[in-house]
Amino acid sequence: MPESRSATSSEVHVVSAGTSAQHVLTYCPRCGSKGFSPPDDPGMHPAAYFLCTRCGFEFFLNAAASTAALIEREPGLLLMTRRLKEPEQGKLDLPGGFVDLRERAEDTVCREIWEECRLRIVRTYLVNRTYWNSYVYGGFTYHTLDLVFRCEVASWDSLISTDGSEVETLLIRKGEIDLNAVGLSSVRRIVGDYIEGNI
């Protein structure tokens, strides 16, 4: 999937070299040998295939699937969150989160919206555009593929102002969203496309 058309050419994914998989994953998880590394094309960044030269163990690094929700209380009034934790603590975000193993992405987004906002979702619509991201957490660079859902809420009466640990919730008019206050670059691109009417 090519980079979203709305991504600006000035957007730079700053990933410090010491946090990349080939710098962190240096021992074979099966035999413990030090000979665990990307075997070919040293110029390929980021490396996604690792091989143990001692026992032959192969390891493939894939993007983690993640979800983001676009939920309007009324046309042009978007539900957003403010992150209370790193990465991008204090910055704006969208409700959503990582897909668990063997979980459907549409179930993920409903679960995350309940956990973060206490809203029940009655319908989800997958947006026909996806977004990738790379960011450092705990000294390791994670790669994601973000799936966006437009969602319909059963009732806004149950919306909470914060889940107490992860996020605060807020409703912002489309014309008043400061993209520079959005923390994660893929979410910035999603919200930018929402504002421009592309998704």
Tally of CA atoms within 13 A in the half-sphere of 47 that contains its CB = 21
User: Can you list the positions of beta strands (E) in 18-177?
Assistant: 36-37, 49-52, 58-60, 64-70, 72-74, 77-83, 92-93, 96-98, 121-137, 140-153, 167-173
In the complex with Zn ion, the residue whose CB is nearer, 21 or 199, is 21
User: Least separation, in Å, of the C-beta of 34 and Zn ion?
Assistant: 10
Report whether 164 contacts 116 (CB < 8 A): no
The label of the residue with tokens 């010491």 reads 18
Strand order in the sheet with 140-153: 96-98, 64-70, 140-153, 121-137
The secondary structure of 91-111 as a DSSP string is SEE-SEEEPPTT--HHHHHHH
In the complex with Zn ion, the residue whose CB is nearer, 57 or 114, is 57
User: Least separation, in Å, of the C-beta of 138 and Zn ion?
Assistant: 24
Backbone angles phi, psi at 120, to 5 degrees: -90, 130
Q: Which residues bind Zn ion (CB under 5 A)?
A: 28, 30-31, 33, 52, 54-55, 57
In the complex with Zn ion, the residue whose CB is nearer, 19 or 33, is 33
Could you tell me how many residues make up the chain?
A: 199
In the complex with Zn ion, the residue whose CB is nearer, 27 or 125, is 27
How many CB atoms within 10 Å of residue 57? 15
User: Least separation, in Å, of the C-beta of 140 and Zn ion?
Assistant: 20
In the complex with Zn ion, the residue whose CB is nearer, 31 or 179, is 31
User: Least separation, in Å, of the C-beta of 61 and Zn ion?
Assistant: 16
